[in-house]
Amino acid sequence: MERWRGRVALVTGASVGIGAALAVELVRLRMKVVGCARDVGKIQKLAAECQSAGHPGVLVPFKCDLTNEEEILAMFAAIKEQHRGVDVCINNAGLAHPEPLLSGKTSSWKNMMDVNVFGLSICAREAYQSMKERHVDDGHIININRTALKPLVFAACVDITTVADLRFYTSARFAVITLTEGLRQELRAENTHTPVTVRL
């Protein structure tokens, strides 16, 4: 981890759970971490806790709604202006609505796609462009998927009937696996050493 010392990581969904834990750990490992979420107050509290604990890195809270592309682009512009750019992008933000396929709300389906697929894809794209323009060839893009999908992802014949009311959500999460492989292939074509990883 020494090579990441002082470099910039973006963690989406950094206000609670896995995102919060990742942000704190990266700060402990001397990184500058931009933690974004809609509820920036929780990240501000985390940042104060990191400072009080004497962690050598810094946590920068940033309010961003990942369903809004303009807000995402504004966040990357601010990171460029204040910290030069992103070296590591951890796409952790995600949400689920228990909406069945035969009677679910379209607005809930759209919300899941906006955060879990479109928001993730926009952040990955902008992170790569940030690295490319600064000739950063050793960054990392990490897409966090949900552990509940493990038995589904590796099953030879997927039986999603066991995931009551989460069939649309599961489909959005399968999209993340496909997108990650697509990113890997495109990065390879760009002859970059920046890897993309999906974590279940």
Give how far Cα 22 sits from Cα of 45, 59, 96, 162, 178, Å. Answer: 15, 11, 21, 30, 24
Of 124, 116, 90, which Cα lies nearest the Cα of 20?
90
Question: Which position among 76, 128, 168, 169 bears the catalytic label?
Answer: 169
d(CA 54, CA 52): 5
Q: What is the pLDDT of residue 161?
A: 46
Q: What is the pLDDT of residue 156?
A: 37
pLDDT digits (tens, 9 = 90+) for 6-25: 999 999 999 999 999 999 99
CB 7 within 8 A of CB 87: yes
169 as an active site residue: the answer is yes
CB 197 within 8 A of CB 141: yes
CB 91 within 8 A of CB 142: yes
pLDDT digits (tens, 9 = 90+) for 28-64: 999 999 999 999 999 999 999 999 999 999 999 999 9
d(CA 29, CA 117): 29
pLDDT digits (tens, 9 = 90+) for 97-146: 999 999 999 999 999 999 999 999 999 999 999 999 999 999 999 999 97
Q: What are the two backbone dihedrals, phi and then psi, of residue 87, each rounded to the nearest 5 degrees?
A: -105, -30
Could you state, in order of their start, the residue ranges of all structural domains in the chain?
Answer: 2-199
- Does domain 2-199 fall into CATH 3.40.50.720? yes
Residues, the chain, total? 200
